[in-house]
Amino acid sequence: MQDLAAPDTGISDGDDRSNPLNEAPVLAAYRNNNLIWLRGLLTEDPDLAQRTAPSGATKHPVSPLHITAQGGHYEATECLIAGYCCLDR
């Protein structure tokens, strides 16, 4: 009998790192409301929270706050407003 279990991708629930729009990882993390990924990216470069990047959908520059608010991602939006995605500073 064939095992139909999903293959282990190394990505746990709540850590979706898909990037179907092929855009900057920080924007993909915001679009996915992935706080685990965001914290990692912002730990490496806290300025990402304030930088614009080209949208994979429109190719126009967008801000992280725009992406989180537009997508209805309350937690990521709240974290950005509170200070670089809830990073301990």
pLDDT tens column, 27-77: 888 888 888 888 888 888 878 888 888 988 889 998 888 888 888 888 888
- The answer to whether the CB of 14 falls within 8 A of the CB of 34 is yes
- The answer to whether the CB of 86 falls within 8 A of the CB of 79 is yes
User: How far is residue 63's CA from residue 53's CA, in Å, rounded to a whole number?
Assistant: 7
Higher pLDDT, 44 or 11: 44
Q: What is the per-residue pLDDT for 47?
A: 81
Q: What is the per-residue pLDDT for 4?
A: 44
Q: What is the pTM of this model?
A: 0.65
